[in-house]
């Protein structure tokens, strides 16, 4: 279901009863960078946002707003 990626698995390890509370700032920063990279990777050939890009950026923005 989730990518077999070390960072993703590290983030998933923080889950407790459906809530992710990351005490590790490095994991948080790495995950936010990962979301940025993935959102760019899903852009179309003209570098326009696709539905996947919009979804990833929305997730990133929600995480940022909830943690700052």
Question: 3-class SS at 66?
Answer: helix
Q: Is residue 48 part of a domain?
A: yes
Any domain includes 19: yes
Q: Output the average pLDDT for the chain.
A: 88
The answer to whether residue 42 sits within a structural domain is yes
Copy the structure tokens of residue 47. Answer: 């570098």
Q: How many domains does the chain have?
A: 1
The pLDDT value given to residue 63: 87
Q: Assess if residue 24 is contained within a domain.
A: yes
Mean pLDDT confidence for 7-20:
85
Per-residue confidence (pLDDT) for residue 50, from 0 to 100: 95
- Amino acid 25: pLDDT: 86
Task: Identify which of 61, 35, 39, 36 has the alpha carbon closest to the alpha carbon of residue 48.
Answer: 39
- pLDDT higher than 90, residue 10: no
Residue 15 lies in a domain: yes
Range of the domain at 42: 6-67
Residue 1 in domain = no
Residue 5's pLDDT band, with cuts at 50, 70 and 90, is: confident
């Amino acid at each position: 279901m989730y990518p077999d990626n070390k960072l993703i698995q590290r983030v998933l390890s923080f889950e407790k009863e459906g809530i992710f509370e990351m005490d590790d700032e490095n994991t948080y920063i790495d995950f936010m960078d990962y979301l940025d990279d993935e959102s760019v990777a899903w852009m179309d050939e003209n570098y326009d946002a696709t539905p996947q890009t919009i979804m990833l950026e929305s997730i990133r923005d929600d995480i940022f707003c909830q943690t700052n």
